[in-house]
């Protein structure tokens, strides 16, 4: 099991980005959370196999139809990975 933290920039709040990311993650069997940050970005912490994390990272590049993703920055996550499903906050 691996974990990553991604920060998604652009028009990603108010466009169902977190809810859509949750749906994609659950379909892939990934646990974690998606959170709106005060600076207008979305933070996604995800846990799963490398292949599945790669697939969700690819999805983050585009997001749901209303989103306009400007960039995605991902890094290894060393924080808690004790998630029950995929949460939005």
The residue with tokens 């069997």 is 29
Q: Among residues 5, 11, 36, 55, which one is catalytic?
A: 36
Q: Among residues 4, 18, 22, 33, which one is catalytic?
A: 18
Q: Which residues contact 68 (CB under 8 A, 6 or more apart)?
A: 10, 11, 12
The answer to whether 57 touches 4, Cβ cutoff 8 Å, is yes
The residue with tokens 């846990």 is 47
* Residue 82 known to be catalytic: no
* Residue 84 known to be catalytic: no
Q: Catalytic positions, please?
A: 18, 36
């Amino acid at each position: 099991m691996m974990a990553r933290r991604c920060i998604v920039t652009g028009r990603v709040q108010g466009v169902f980005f977190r809810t859509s990311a949750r749906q994609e993650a659950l379909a892939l069997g990934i646990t974690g959370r998606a959170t709106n940050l005060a600076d207008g970005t979305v933070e996604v912490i995800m846990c799963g196999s490398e292949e599945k994390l790669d697939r969700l990272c690819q999805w983050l590049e585009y997001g749901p139809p209303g989103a306009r993703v400007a960039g995605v920055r991902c890094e290894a996550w060393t924080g808690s990975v004790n998630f029950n499903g995929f949460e939005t906050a």
